[in-house]
Amino acid sequence: MPYSDKVVDHYENPRNVGSFDKNDVAVGTGIVGAPECGDVMKLQLKISADGVIEDAKFKTFGCGSAIASSSLATEMVKGKTLEQALAIKNTDLVQELALPPVKIHCSVLAEDAIKAAIQDYQAKQVKMKSAEALVNSVEGATVTA
């Protein structure tokens, strides 16, 4: 099964390998797996206060197509809003990498990881806002004796 030059390039020279602090409220982490082949992908997004993806990192345990899909996904999301990133589909990755049909599930992993990372980030934001509201209500309360 021949791979495109782009798959080989992203596999041999993966972009944005690494991780961020998962406890950072500006970081969303998505961890997904593919039962078909055992691939596991962790994708993290660092998001600015105005909702733009500033940076992305990944760690993938899997085949060359999974690593290439992860690497390309990190490049595709940078500079995008959350809504724009959610619009990235596995078919975009398949087309860009020219993945063979038997490896399409690797691109699905990348799409799912983007969604999971954004959901994690949004959940952190809701928690943080709830905590801030609680602190503000406690600070605003008057104590009577």
32 near 106, Cβ under 8 Å? no
The encoded tokens of residue 52 equal 């733009």
- Where does the pLDDT of residue 135 fall: very low under 50, low under 70, confident under 90, or very high at 90 and above? confident
Q: Residues 46-86: pLDDT tens digits?
A: 999 999 999 999 999 999 999 999 999 999 999 999 999 99
> Catalytic amino acids?
37, 106
CATH number at residue 93: 3.90.1010.10
Tell me how many domains the chain contains: 1
| Residues linked to residue 51 through DSSP beta bridges, in sequence order | none
Query: For residue 28, is it within any domain?
Result: yes
Query: For residue 144, is it within any domain?
Result: no
Provide the 10 A C-beta neighbour count for residue 5.
9
Query: For residue 145, is it within any domain?
Result: no
Domain containing residue 116: 5-138
Query: For residue 56, is it within any domain?
Result: yes
Query: For residue 106, is it within any domain?
Result: yes
Q: Which of 65, 51, 64, 75 is nearest to 106 (CA)?
A: 65
Mean pLDDT confidence for 11-30: 97
Cα gap 99→82, rounded to integer Å: 25
**Residues 6 or more apart from 112 whose CB is under 8 A from it?**
30, 32
